[in-house]
Structure 1
Amino acid sequence: MAINIGSQHAGVINNAEGNQTVHIGNATYNALVDRVREEVRNVPLPPAVRAEVDAELDAVGGDPSQAVGRVGRVVGLLRSAGALAGAGGGLASALSALIGSFGALGEPLAAMLP
């Protein structure tokens, strides 16, 4: 049996045992975090919630296993403030893109989005 894989482009591509993992670069990841931050600015939030969300986003690092917890707290804060229900597509789309970058680690968070 022959398997031909055409050209693939990404920061890192690992393909073992039929599974493929694509790791995005830091610039792309940082752009996703910045997009969430920008969308959050457009949402009315109580000052205390905004401060907590900003602190969590500021602390999001490049390690997905660490970042997923912080983004999870952001999603929880936004949900409890009712911001996800009335935020429109921009915030949900930005969060979805960031959460999608975590791969399987982000699946529980994706289920929390509207």
Structure 2
Amino acid sequence: MNIETSLKEAMAIEGAIGAALVDYESGMALGTIGGGRDLDLEVAAAGNTEVVRAKVRTLTSLAIDDTVEDILITLSRQYHIIRLLTTTHGSLFLYLVLDRQRANLALARHNLKRIENELSV
């Protein structure tokens, strides 16, 4: 599945507000969908790049031999899921913003994993 199709699949997840595929080495979004006036996905992609870099640095500093699957940020009205893709995809993450009232967090994480497995960059 290509980037555009993957992002459309992410937006089909119940409660989805916006989604992006981001290169965390450069901080650039390779693709975005959704968002709007209240959610600038380009800014969010760049900001969440710093979150990912900090977590990866922390694991290295602690000499933890493991990888991050995803990072969850909970807001009062939204969930933000950052799903780091496997090394075969390079330094990429899927970013999904969900409306907390309409989303099923467990199902959203499951669907992001499925999208990751089908993604071809």
Higher helix share goes to which structure? 1
What's the TM-score, normalizing by structure 1? 0.28
Q: Which has the higher contact order (CA 8 A, sep 6+)?
A: 2
Bigger radius of gyration: 1
Higher strand share goes to which structure? 2
What's the TM-score, normalizing by structure 2? 0.27
